[in-house]
Structure 1
Amino acid sequence: MKIGIVGAGAVGLLAGAYLGRHHEVHMIVRREEQRRMLTKNGIACDTLESPVPVKASCSLDEEVDLILLTVKQHHLPDVLDDGLPAGVPLLFLQNGMTHYRRASIDPRPCFTGIVEHGARKENDCSVRHTGKGVMRIAPLTDEGFGVYRRLFEALAEEDFPIYLEGRAETMLKKKLLVNAVINPVTAVFKVRNGELLTNPYLSDIARKLCEEACDVLSLSFPDEWDRVCRIAEKTGSNHSSMLVDLMEGRQTEVDAISGYILEEGTRPLPYHEFIVTAVRAIEWEEGGNTNE
């Protein structure tokens, strides 16, 4: 199978490495320097024995069977308006839910997924697999997977499992909630995920964020708080993606995550209002209000 992957950050590189072992992967990147490195070196992943050869370009010129969109939320509009081929199924792999609205009205076959792996980009052609998990994929229309079911089933590997889910909205809400609790708190206070459990003051902030998000998303607070705690414990030594973005001077996805909850809320959400403002302030101070 020929697979196009738009975006070569941590998730894009991880997917490219695992899928590239048995499929022809085309990495679509913005920078010529990264294109050269991927073409020359392939993708190195610390959990794989050797680098995985991939093709790389700055535009998608070849025919592919599937396109994975792994860019950040704020880059999606440019990517979707940049002439992606019609008729090729798109798999959205973003944090947050703002892409859910756009994808739901896109004329192309659209699917969404969540990545429960931990990954850290080491350089332009190398990724560290910091936590093994699964990828979950769901259709964005009532038509379901249809003729594309076998295509997605063919992606799964024993060490890179993929599960096909029935309802995209529920799946995305649960992932959004975890991100809305762990990401901004760790980013603002510059701590690893596990400190949300060991620091009682951070735990209280996280709990309040979880309560507000559950109310907006119509999710069960006891169930979701338990899940947040389990994930924070499992990924305790990790830096969240939002903290990494701030550390490296990049724009975060706080608007697509916490900002989405604020937009959807019908009552005051003081903890979300504060945390969004705090992240934006740090972005401004550290130069993360760029389009990188």
Structure 2
Amino acid sequence: MLGTLGDEWTLLILQQATLGATRYGDFAARLPISHAVLTRRLASMTDSGLLEKRIYQENPPRAEYVLTPRGRGLWPVLMSIWEWERHWVPAHAEGLPAMHHATCGCAFAPVLSCRGCGAAATEKDVAAQWGPSGSWARSIPAQSTRRRSASGRGAAGAGLFPETMSILGNRWAFALLVSAFVGTSRFGDFADQLGAPPGSLADRLQIFTGIGVLAAADGRYRLTEKGRATFPILITALQWAQHTFRSPDGLAVDLQHTACGATFEAELTCDQCTGVLRGTEVDVR
């Protein structure tokens, strides 16, 4: 999942595809992206099964790029990122407009909820343990994604979702944040659990404290309110990954909703009408 999504341009192209862009010119007009980068990302996203390339004109040849079921399944992740950046990153490069729910007509915020009982869920309500195919070692990509600067923003990135990419754009960052959610707080415990090089771990901790996701005190690094608010991003990304990259051994992570005792399957609901959200029912303006 991190190898597929740990790139800002990929997320932005997915966002625009979800909003209706299909042709090369659509993406080029909507994003501050070079032609070389756009061409490479469209090719890699087609190879990874997020987009399907369809020829709509033979002479001269013209193609469109349509979301596959795998690509469409990422809308909860994109919506969670959008809401977190809109709410928690006041210095965002461009103001993000509100999302409107077509069913009730209201501007809304998505609420992470339990599909089994319908109740809203936070990190305090969900218990996680490794499944048959899960471990820290197996959950970290063998190679790092694009190196980030100390601010968490890559020199070649769009800079539109800089703080989100400080989480998704590095193989150690996502794992470190998950580790913080399950109670790890000391440098040595992070290092032992993740197997991360000390320099990489120190760099990620510095970035997370710098953007206010973690707070350092008494030799510990603890999640702030802003950090806890990333929970919907982590859960929707994990859920997409477990549905998309299935292991014959079983799930990597087992989640349980402690409030109802059922296996936790996440869904997003509207905070205004409480209805279940669907990607086709959300308007951004």
Shared fold (TM-score greater than 0.5)?
Answer: no
Question: TM-score with structure 1 length normalisation?
Answer: 0.29
Q: TM-score normalised to the size of structure 2?
A: 0.30
Taking CA–CA contacts closer than 8 Å with sequence separation of 6 or more, which of the two structures ends up with the larger relative contact order? Answer: 2
Higher helix share: 1
